[in-house]
Amino acid sequence: MTRFLLLLLLVLCASGAQARDSLLTGTLKTVHDRGTVLIGVRESSIPFSYLNKARQPIGFSVDLCHGIATDIAAALNADLIEADAPAWQKGVRIVYVPVAPDERLPKVASGAIDLECGSTTASADRAKIVAFSPIFFLAGTKLMVPTASGIGSYRDLAGKTVAVSTGTTNAAALKALASRMTPPFTVQETPDLAAAYGLLAAGKAAAFASDDVLLAGMAATHPDGKRFRIVGDYLSYEPYGIAFRRDDPMFADLVKRSFERMASEGTLRALYNRWLTKRLPTGENLSLPISPHLQEMYRALGEPD
């Protein structure tokens, strides 16, 4: 190949890359220009997004977001670089951003994070603020109470205090129930799940309301967890999704295709089993088999029979 032809080929390749990059919009363009994908994580949403003993984010949702980040990097024709990788490595770097329940969706909407990877319910009201991935887990609000308390449902809470994490659908459900009781119970909002559990453990709340799977995770990871039990009917139903910015069709398509890829490859089911049926990296085991409803959702995404 002559020097002229080699130079022409290099110019054409560069032009193709520039043309591709010029077509990028929304989150993909932001990630391309910034060189990082910002993943919002929680510190105590076990087993979806929490910190291990080394204070590193781990969990089902974190792994799902890692899968999405892999497809983001592939779409940008770049390597995916882990958060703790050497500075000289080039590509799309993952950056984990801690978020509290009441700030997670505003941070998505403002661009402070690109993906919110926790235990977030995909509801119609929230869909007015952010967009959601396909559903990857189904939970519901229940109560954690001291074993010897005699409390069996929300009907036994009249005049008592219930701890909930602020900015959650659990808090909204409990407030609605409290308003219909005489006397009403008090809904005490806390910054996060750990603080709500702390109120219950200290005897400052008669119950702790949250998603049943999160309550199970809190009990399993605390030495005094056996003092409590999870009771009552479901007070709400909570389908979990990964949140990202609205009105971004290019990115929404990538997230959908990423879930379909993970389902068809068996990754989605493998991650479910890793975090919900097997021993966790921190030593606990929630032993929660997948429900028939969730199995059908995974099949709809392309999971093989």
Same domain, 257 and 116: yes
Same domain, 27 and 131: yes
In a domain? residue 172: yes
Same domain, 247 and 132: yes
In a domain? residue 292: yes
> What SS3 class is residue 276?
helix
Q: In the chain, what percentage of residues exceed pLDDT 70?
A: 93
Q: What is the pTM of this model?
A: 0.86
Angle at 191 between CA 130 and CA 112, to 5 degrees: 35
Same domain, 47 and 193: no
Same domain, 43 and 116: yes
CB 104 within 8 A of CB 115: no
Q: What is the CATH number of the domain that holds 292?
A: 3.40.190.10
Same domain, 229 and 265: no
- Give the tens place of pLDDT for each residue, 231-279: 999 999 999 999 999 999 999 999 999 999 999 999 999 999 999 999 9
Expressed as residue numbers, the domain containing 196 is: 140-237
Instruction: Identify the DSSP state of 96.
Output: E
Same domain, 65 and 102: yes
Burial (CB < 10 A; 0-12, 13-18, 19+), residue 57, is buried
Residue indicated by tokens 């989605």: 268
- The domain total for the chain is 2
Contacts (Cβ under 8 Å, ≥6 apart) of 34: none
Give the full edge-to-edge strand order of the sheet including 92-98.
Answer: 80-81, 92-98, 36-41, 115-117, 243-244, 131-132
Same domain, 173 and 48: no
- Give the tens place of pLDDT for each residue, 136-174: 999 999 999 999 999 999 999 999 999 999 999 999 999
Same domain, 32 and 129: yes
pLDDT exceeds 50 at position 181: yes
CB 141 within 8 A of CB 215: no
Nearest in space to 116 (alpha carbons), one of 218, 242, 225: 242
